């Protein structure tokens, strides 16, 4: 369960994640006219960050349930564009990447590429 910047994102699946996003976006949108721009932007960025963390957790769980197992090597999820600059809006698009540790062999390279390709697709579907 993600709890980033005070946001408790405990959605159990993609539909739950969507419901949390919509409710939080509605809450933030209602504050726009009475709040400083930097406070609204900060709230939006915190929401998106927490949603991304939970989407990654759900994607890893889906991979394990479907027989792919846990991530075979460490990886990092990178956020580019408006997200990377902490300038997201309520309807920001996805500009992201995923990098993982170097494979030990050519055989390992294909296994890792396959795992992380599937994980990446799963993450995108959650987001």
**Model confidence pLDDT, tens digit, residues 48-105:** 888 899 999 999 999 999 999 999 999 999 999 888 888 888 777 778 999 999 999 9
Please choose, from the candidates 46, 17, 25, 19, the residue with its C-alpha nearest in 3D space to the C-alpha of residue 125: 17
Instruction: Indicate the pTM of the whole model.
Output: 0.81
Count CA within 13 A, CB hemisphere, residue 47.
25
pLDDT above 80 for 42: yes
Can you tell me the distance from the alpha carbon of 123 to that of 38, in angstroms, rounded to the nearest whole number?
29
pLDDT above 50 for 36: yes
pLDDT above 90 for 39: no
């Amino acid at each position: 369960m993600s709890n980033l910047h005070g946001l408790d994102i405990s959605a159990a699946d993609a539909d739950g994640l969507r419901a949390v996003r919509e409710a939080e976006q509605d809450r933030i949108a209602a504050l726009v006219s009475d709040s400083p721009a930097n406070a609204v932007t900060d709230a939006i960025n915190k929401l998106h960050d927490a949603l991304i963390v939970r989407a990654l957790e759900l994607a890893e769980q889906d991979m394990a349930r479907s027989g792919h197992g846990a991530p075979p090597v460490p990886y990092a999820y990178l956020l580019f564009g408006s997200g990377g600059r902490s300038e997201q809006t309520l309807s920001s698009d996805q500009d992201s990447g995923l990098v993982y540790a170097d494979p030990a062999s050519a055989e390992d390279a294909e296994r890792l590429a396959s795992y992380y390709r599937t994980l990446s697709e799963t993450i995108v579907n959650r987001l």
